[in-house]
């Protein structure tokens, strides 16, 4: 087999992670090429279907995470040989793709609506805190949500979504993170 180069975003998770793990379990050597979201914008048109993950091997570039999962899953002993069991495996992987479509719809709909509304509420409250002119549990709730959105832990949700549609919320997240009580909490957890 030729050299394998798997390109995906620099996150632990997402559509490439099952393939990365299967390659590792199978002892299949590969280059784990991790890129930023801005780098993808520059290289998008060079990938089939303008998509990631992309895998370079056999003198070509290929996409589609479930195809990668099946191909390398078979090589690593992680894909059923029995047709019915393979069907059950594929059903679960395809359900994950439907979840992707649902998340993308949320990004374009409810997520954006909530972010814009919360951004407006923060602005109406003076731009620093949501209520009482000081840190409240409302601020903690939004802090945790925006921090999670920005971290990339939610597959198929762009990490720059909050910055794009609700920039005050990103500033708010940074303000709350710098609060001595919040900072002490995370320091105590070794984070």
pLDDT of residue 39: 92
Measured distance CA(166)–CA(142) in Å, rounded: 12
Give the DSSP letter of residue 51. Answer: -
Report whether 55 contacts 68 (CB < 8 A): yes
pLDDT of residue 166: 96
pLDDT of residue 89: 86
pLDDT of residue 121: 95
Whole-prediction pTM: 0.63
| Of 41, 19, 36, the residue nearest 28 (C-alpha) | 19
- Run of H or E residues at 165: helix 161-165
Q: What are 66-71's contacts with CB under 8 Å, separation 24+?
A: 66/90, 66/93, 66/94, 66/97, 68/6, 68/16, 68/19, 69/18, 69/19, 69/22, 69/93
Q: Residues 176, 13, 105, CA angle at the centre, nearest 5°? A: 75
pLDDT of residue 191: 64
pLDDT tens digits for the chain (191 residues)? 469 999 999 887 778 999 999 999 999 999 999 998 889 989 888 999 999 999 999 999 999 999 999 999 999 999 999 999 999 989 888 887 777 778 888 888 888 999 999 999 999 999 999 988 988 888 898 998 899 888 877 777 888 999 999 999 999 999 999 999 899 888 887 76
Q: Is the peptide bond before 53 cis (omega within 30 degrees of 0)?
A: yes
pLDDT of residue 149: 87
Q: Please state the φ and ψ torsions of residue 15, each to the nearest 5 degrees.
A: -70, -25
Domains and CATH numbers, the chain: 5-79 (3.40.30.10), 84-188 (no CATH)
């Amino acid at each position: 087999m030729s050299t394998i180069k798997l390109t995906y975003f620099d996150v632990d998770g997402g559509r490439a992670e099952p393939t990365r793990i299967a390659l590792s379990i199978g002892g299949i050597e590969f280059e784990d090429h991790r890129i930023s979201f801005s780098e993808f914008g520059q290289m998008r048109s060079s990938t089939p279907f303008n998509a990631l993950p992309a895998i370079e091997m056999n003198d070509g570039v290929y996409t589609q995470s479930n195809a990668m999962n099946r191909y390398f899953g078979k090589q690593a002993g992680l894909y059923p040989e029995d047709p019915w069991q393979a069907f059950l495996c594929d059903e679960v992987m395809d359900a994950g793709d439907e979840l992707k479509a649902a998340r993308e719809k949320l990004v374009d709909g409810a997520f954006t609506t909530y972010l814009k509304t919360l951004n407006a509420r923060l602005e109406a409250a003076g731009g620093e805190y949501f209520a009482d002119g000081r840190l409240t549990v409302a601020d903690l709730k939004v802090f945790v949500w925006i921090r999670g959105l920005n971290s990339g832990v939610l597959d198929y949700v762009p990490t720059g979504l909050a910055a794009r549609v609700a920039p005050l919320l990103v500033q708010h997240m940074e303000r709350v993170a710098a609060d001595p009580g919040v900072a002490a909490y995370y320091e105590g957890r070794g984070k």
